[in-house]
Structure 1
C-alpha cells in the first residue's frame, strides 16, 4: 500500500500545469493586442511626463524692430522783408600822393580843372526813405561803336627802373604799354631786356632840371640849365648808351629845362644822331621841346593826359576816360602814368573793357610824326 505522502508532489505539478493552461487559454489574440496597446500607452505617457519635467533651454529671441519715430517738421515761415535803410556814402577823400624817387611835377594847368559849381544842374531833392547807392569804384568807359574809325592810344609808363616786381606786373598786362626807363637805376638794364623779350617798346626817360631845383632833384647826372652845350651833349649821349634797346625818349621832370631852346637844342642833337623819336612830357605849358624836335627832323609828339596825378583807382579810371575823349577828338592821344599799384589795377580793368572794342592801344612810336 503506497503512502499518501508519495502522491503529493505529482498532484501539485499537475495542478500547476492545469492552472497555466487555463491562463493561456484566457490570453486570446484580442486580449493580447489590448495588453500591448496598454503597455505602449503607459510607456508613451511615462516618456511625455519625463520630458515635461525637464528644464527648457533658453531661447534666443529675435528683437522686434522698433517703429520709426516720425518727428513733425515745422513749416518754414520767411521773415517779413526789412524796411529799406538809407545808405549814405562816406565822404570822398583824396589820398595823399605817393611820390616816386624823382616825382613828376605837372603844373596846375595840366590837371583837368574842376567844373564850375554854378554851371552844374541842381539835383532833385532826395526823399528821406530813398536808398542812395555809392558811386562805382571804376566808372564805365564810353567806347566807340564797332565799325567806326579805330581810336589809337599810347600809354607810356614813366619812372621805370627801380621796382622790378612792378615792371613785371606791367609787362603781364594785356596792353602794349611803352616803358620809359630812367638810366642808372637798380633794375634799369634788366627791365629793358625783359621788355625787349616780351615785345614792349622801351624809351629813355631823360632827367632834366625842373622848376624849384635844387629842392626838387631830378637825379644824378641830370641835364641842367647851368651846363654848356658840350656837357649837355655828353650827358645825353651817356644816358642813351645805357639803354641801347630804346626806340625813343622823353623828359623826366624838366619843367625848367624844356623851356630853354638852346639847352633843348643841344640835347635833341644827340637824340637825332641816335635816330630816336622824342615825346614831350609837357611838364610845363611853356615847353619848346616838341617845336625844337620838329625843326631838327625828329619824329615827335606831345603828352595829352597825365593818368595818375591822384593815386586812386577810380580817379585813374576817370583819367583813362578823359584820354579816350581826347583821342576821339584828335584821332589819337598819348597818356603818361607811373609804376604805382593803383595804376596797374586801373590798367587791368581798362584792358578788360577794351577787349571787344575798336580802340587800339599802340606803342608810342606809332603816334609820333
Structure 2
C-alpha cells in the first residue's frame, strides 16, 4: 500500500519577512548613500550658484565668497618725486679775526748789550736801519700798501695765516725779504693765545722742533725768524736751544723781538753761532699819530748813535699813513736795508 504524500507547510508571515530580507541584493545600501550624497551636493551647489548670481535682496549686502575670489595684488601708489629745491645762498665768509699783536714789555733794560755794527758797514755814509713789518698774513690790503712804498722792508709772516701763501708769493716777486713770525708762549698764556703754530713750554723737544720745521716749510724762500710774543718761552734756555738748533741747521738768522727784558736769545744765538740782531724800537705800539711820529724820529736817533738799528711795525692803517708821511724825512737820515744786512754772528 502506498504512503500518502505530505503537503508542504505554509510559511508563516515572520518567515516570509526573513525570506524577503534575504532577497535584497548586496551593495544596494551603498548606492543609496551615494545617491543621497550626490543629491545633497547638487542642492548645495545650486544654492551657492543662486547666492552668487541672483541679485541680493534689498537692504542686504552681497556675500563675499572668500574661498573663490581671486587674490589681486594691491596697486601701490608710487612715492611723489622729490621736488628740486634750490640750494640755499652761500653763507657769507666769517670775517677773519686778526691776531693778537705783541704784548709789549713794561720796561727795557737801559744797559743791555748792543749788537755790534757789522764789519762790512761802510765807514762813511748813513747808518743802516731795518724795518720789519710783523703779523703779515691776515690783511692783504695793508700788506700791499707797505709793499707799495718800494723800499727794502722785511715782512714777517705768521704761520697758518689765511693770506700767508698769497702774500709770500707777492713779497718774493717784488724782491723783498721774508721772515717767519714765530708765535711763542707769553707769560699770560693761556689767557692770551699766541695763535696757530705756537711753540709752548709744555711741548716735548720733538713736538717743538717738528712744529717749528712745519712753520718754516710754509714759507719758501724764508731768510730768518723773529718771535711773536714769547715773553715766557724766550726766558727758557732749553727751549731756545731747540729753536736755535733748527735755525742753525737751516742757515737762517734770528731777530729777537724783545717781548721781555729777561730774554736769553742773545746768549743762545752766540752759543749756536747764528746770525743775530735785536729789536731796538717799536714804532706803533700806541696807535696815536703823534706817538708814531716820535718813534720814527727816535729810530733815526738810535741809528745815528749806534750805527744801525732795528724797528718793528705792524699792519695798521694809521701806521701806513704816518709811514708815508715820515718816509722822506727818514730816508735823509738813514739807509733802509733788509734785516739780513743788519744781523751777524756775535763773537
Cα separation, partners in 2 of 1:105 and 1:213, compared to 1, 3 Å: same
* Pair 1:352 & 2:331 matched: no
The equivalent residue for 1:361 is: 336
2:101 matched residue in structure 1? 103
Distance in structure 2 (CA, Å) of the matches to 1:367 and 1:310: 26
Question: What's the counterpart of residue 285 of structure 2?
Answer: 309
Matches within 5 A, 1:94-243: 100-110=98-108, 149-243=125-219
State how far apart, in whole Å, the 1-side matches of 2:157 and 2:200 are: 19
Name structure 1 gaps, 5 residues minimum. Answer: 1-98, 113-146
Q: Which of residues 291, 296, 301 in structure 2 aligns to 1:320?
A: 296
Give me the whole-angstrom Cα distance separating, in 1, the residues matched to 2:138 and 2:108: 26
> Cα deviation per residue 1:190-221 (whole Å; 9 max; x = unaligned)?
11110111111010000100011000000123
Distance 2:333 2:299 in 1: 15
Q: Is the 8 A contact 1:280 1:301 kept in 2?
A: yes
Would the aligned equivalents of 2:247 and 2:253 in 1 still touch at CA under 8 Å? yes
For residues 336 and 191 of structure 1, do their structure 2 counterparts lie closer, same or farther at Cα, with a shift above 3 Å needed? same
Mapped to 2, the partners of 1:298 and 1:148 lie a distance apart of: 27
Runs of 4+ in 1 over 4 A off after TM superposition: none
Aligned partners of 1:280, 1:213: CA distance in 2, in Å? 19
Structure 1 residue 111: deviation in Å? 11
Contact 1:111 1:306 in 2 (8 A): no
Give the 3 Å change call, closer, same or farther, for CA 282–159 of structure 1 in structure 2: same
In structure 2, distance between residues paired with 1:258 and 1:323: 24
- TM-score normalised to structure 1 length: 0.62
* Displacement after TM superposition at 1:261 (Å): 0.4
Is the Cα contact below 8 Å between 2:300 and 2:333 reproduced in 1? no
Partners of 2:186 and 2:105 in 1: how far apart? Answer: 11
* Runs of 5+ unmatched residues, structure 2: 1-96, 111-122
SS in 1 for 2:107: helix
Which position in structure 2 is the counterpart of 1:276? 252
Deviation for aligned residue 1:110: 4.2
Q: Structure 2-normalised TM-score?
A: 0.65
Give 1:126's aligned residue: none
Instruction: Determine helix, strand or coil for the equivalent of 1:109.
Output: coil
* Distance in 2 separating the partners of 1:202 and 1:111: 29
Do the aligned residues in 2 keep the contact of 1:257 with 1:263 (CA within 8 Å)?
yes
The secondary structure found in structure 2 opposite 1:207 is strand
Could you give the per-residue CA deviations for residues 243-275 of structure 1, whole angstroms, max 9, x where no partner exists?
011100100100100000000111111111111
Residue 101 of structure 1 deviates from its aligned partner by 1.4
Provide the C-alpha distance between the structure 2 equivalents of 1:110 and 1:168, rounded to a whole number of angstroms: 32
SS in 1 for 2:322: helix
In the alignment, the residues of structure 1 paired with residue 249 and residue 105 of structure 2 have an alpha-carbon distance, to the nearest angstrom, of 31
Aligned to 1:50: none
> What count of residue pairs does the alignment treat as equivalent?
236
Maintained 8 Å contact 1:102/1:159: no
Question: Contact 2:300–2:330 at 8 Å: present in 1 too?
Answer: no
Match of 1:248? 224
